[in-house]
Amino acid sequence: MRFPSFPTLLRTFHTVTNTTGAFFRAHPTYLGRTLYNTPQRALLYRSMPNIPFLGALFGSSSNMADNTNYPVQKTEGEWQTQLSPEQFRILRKKGTEYPGSGEYDKHYPSAGVYSCTGCSTPLYKANHKFDSGCGWPAFWDAVPGAVGQRPDGGRTEIVCNNCGGHLGHIFKGERFGNPKDERHCVNSVSINFSPNEESK
């Protein structure tokens, strides 16, 4: 196995410190206890984005085969024409944006809808969004039927049910205090916000 490059190590360090900090902000009662004594320790690893050598260590998969027939079907070339290079990398190649870099990470409107960048399908409402401190937009629920879940190594991937676009991953049982005890960890690049509550 080739030793990772310095930029990859730097990115990994940033992700680990960001995720660990989010954990302690969300679980202040665990301060003073070691990570090895906390039941959520596995969540720290599963919450990390797809970093090549970490993916190999923790069993994540960045290029799953997609055998689902979604209503919106386009060739790879058509998606490349429609999307920016970064949108294509994340939505169609299942990439991950850097933590804290997304447009909607600290975005908390009182009303509105977040829709899929690929097909404009409404996915999340503004009142689904909460501050998880993880570095990515977090939602505790989705528009009914809009988001699908699929196994992704040790994690669960979430996709747009209309076009199959990669949104991020879902984590359960983190005790953020929301009604469903879920965190949809979504890439900002995968969604667009509209202040209008009406479906497009």
Active site residues: 185
Q: Using CA atoms, how far apart are residues 162 and 117, in angstroms rounded to an integer? A: 11
Pairing relation of β-strands 147-152 and 113-116? Answer: unpaired
Q: Are the C-beta atoms of 15 and 55 separated by less than 8 Å? A: no
In a 13 Å sphere around the CA of 174, the CA atoms on its Cβ side amount to 27
Q: Using CA atoms, how far apart are residues 200 and 196, in angstroms rounded to an integer? A: 9
Q: Return the HEC string of 71-115.
A: CCCCCHHHHHHHCCHHHHHHHCCCCCCCCCCCCCCCCCCCCCEEE
Tell me the two tokens of residue 124: 């999340």
- Work out the burial of residue 141: count CB atoms within 10 Å of its CB; fewer than 13 is exposed, 13-18 middle, 19 or more buried: middle
User: Dihedral sign, CA of 133, 43, 137, 130?
Assistant: negative
